[in-house]
Amino acid sequence: MISALAISRTGLDAASLRLEASASNVANLRTTGALPAEPGGRAGSYTPVDVVQTSLDGAGVSARLAERRPAFVTAYEPGSPDADARGFVAAPNVDIVGEVTNQIMAAAAFEANAAAMRAARDMTETLFDIEA
């Protein structure tokens, strides 16, 4: 039962990180900056993040943040102080529909892992009652 709790805990942590990353991406959706001076360079805008999950061989999952590639898209904002001579800026590569989907999936994953933890707790309590 303890391993079920530990595995569910890693799932809760991963779901929390996914929600945190998505919320950060949405909060910075309109943060623009200068286009990079060279191809493949770093833009002056917010760099969106994604969560990469890896299986821990039957011991749950490991989750980490990774910068989204490509990090930005070109947007036309001639009035921006960061605009180049043609009026373009770097805008974060954030799709609001994709982010809402990520948030819904994170909430569902969190609920599923919490339910698994409750089931493991209930089974452990039942086992202790039988032993007593």
> How many whole angstroms separate alpha carbon 76 and alpha carbon 57?
47
Encode pLDDT of 70-89 as tens digits: 999 999 999 999 999 999 99
Encode pLDDT of 56-67 as tens digits: 987 899 999 999
User: Which residues, including other chains, have CB under 8 Å from residue 13's CB and lie 6 or more apart?
Assistant: 63
Phi and psi at 77, nearest 5°, equal -140, 80
The pLDDT of residue 115: 95
Whether the pLDDT of residue 1 is over 60: the answer is no
Encode pLDDT of 2-41 as tens digits: 588 889 999 999 999 999 999 999 999 999 999 998 777 7
Q: Which pTM does this prediction carry?
A: 0.86
Phi and psi at 37, nearest 5°, equal -70, -25
Look at the block and give the residue holding tokens 């060279």. Answer: 38
Confidence class for position 92, pLDDT limits 50, 70, 90: very high
The pLDDT of residue 15: 97
The pLDDT of residue 2: 58
